[in-house]
Structure 1
Amino acid sequence: MRIWLNKKPLTLNQSLTLIQLLEEQAVSIAGCAVAINNNIVPRNRWESTTLSEGDEISLFQAIAGG
């Protein structure tokens, strides 16, 4: 299955949930927000959201500033 992660193609051997993808890619989830196909996915749905062929996943990290 092929998806896009931050505009880069990624081939998966099997269907994954969003949280499994983040773990597989060693993404620090602290301060992280995720959108799939331009729709923000609430953190409480990461474990139940299954990725599909062609999904475009965007990861955002909160950045402190002032």
Structure 2
Amino acid sequence: MEVLVNNELYAVQQGTTIAALLQFIQITTHKGIAVAINNQVIPKASWADKPLNNADNVTIIRATQGG
């Protein structure tokens, strides 16, 4: 199945969770990260259990410091 992650298309297996997707795209730290699927923010506590669906639009946002 295919999902769109920050405007890039990825082929992933059926049942892939958010946590598995982050590992697949080599995001190793979850600190300062927010994930939304189809414009709905998913709580970090649900990442290991929330499976992706075909054609989901995933947005990953990283907090940055600045001033």
TM-score under structure 2 length normalisation: 0.90
Please give the alpha-carbon distance, in whole angstroms, between the structure 1 residues aligned to 2:19 and 2:25. 10
Q: Give the 4+ runs in structure 1 shifted more than 6 A.
A: none
* Partner SS, residue 35 of structure 1: strand
Aligned to 1:15: 15
Q: Does 1:4 align with 2:4?
A: yes
Please give the alpha-carbon distance, in whole angstroms, between the structure 1 residues aligned to 2:5 and 2:35. 10
Identity, in percent, stands at 30
The number of residue pairs the alignment matches comes to 66
Following superposition, the deviation at residue 53 of structure 1 comes to: 0.3
Following superposition, the deviation at residue 48 of structure 1 comes to: 0.9
TM-score under structure 1 length normalisation: 0.91
Following superposition, the deviation at residue 62 of structure 1 comes to: 0.5
Aligned to 2:46: 45
Gaps of 5+ in 1: none
